Copies of this chain bind each other. A is one copy, B any other.
Amino acid sequence: MAFSKIEKFTKKDIWLADIAKALSHPARIKILKILAGMNACMCGDIVELLPLSQSTVSQHLKELKRVGLITGEIEGPKVCYCINNANLQKAKSEINKLFNQVFEC
């Protein structure tokens, strides 16, 4: 790769691509669904619901947190993960906007 060319694109496109990247692994899709199904937030029993090790799940959670789709609050010895509804809403609407923009061809 020598050097990444990512900085040559618009902030918006970089942001959209970054959200898409966070959604680009089935484990992370599943984590979002699990967190939704719990309706209150929940801690890392997520690990038991995924066919992956604790450390790998932790990495996937970190990636979702990085783009702001979830939050993780320390609660005693556990960590309580939640969907970040505001950011999810923003992601949804921006992705929709992209699709609509691409449709009008």
- A interface with B by C-beta (< 8 Å): 5-6, 8-10, 13-14, 16-18, 20-30, 32-33, 35-40, 51-52, 83, 85, 88-89, 91-92, 95-96, 98-99, 101-105
Contacts and interface: CB of A to CB of B under 8 A. Distances in A.
B52 A27 contact: no
B32 A6 contact: no
Given A24-B20, A88-B99, A13 B30 contact: yes
In the assembly, how many copies of this chain are there? 2
Chain A residues touching B, majority SS:
helix
B33 A23 contact: no
A33 B101 contact: yes
A101 B101 CA distance: 24
Given A33-B102, A36-B105, A101-B36, A26 B6 contact: yes
Contact of A105 (B37, B99, B104): B37
Contacts of A88: 99, 102-103
Contacts of A92: 96, 99
Given A36-B104, A101-B33, A24 B24 contact: yes
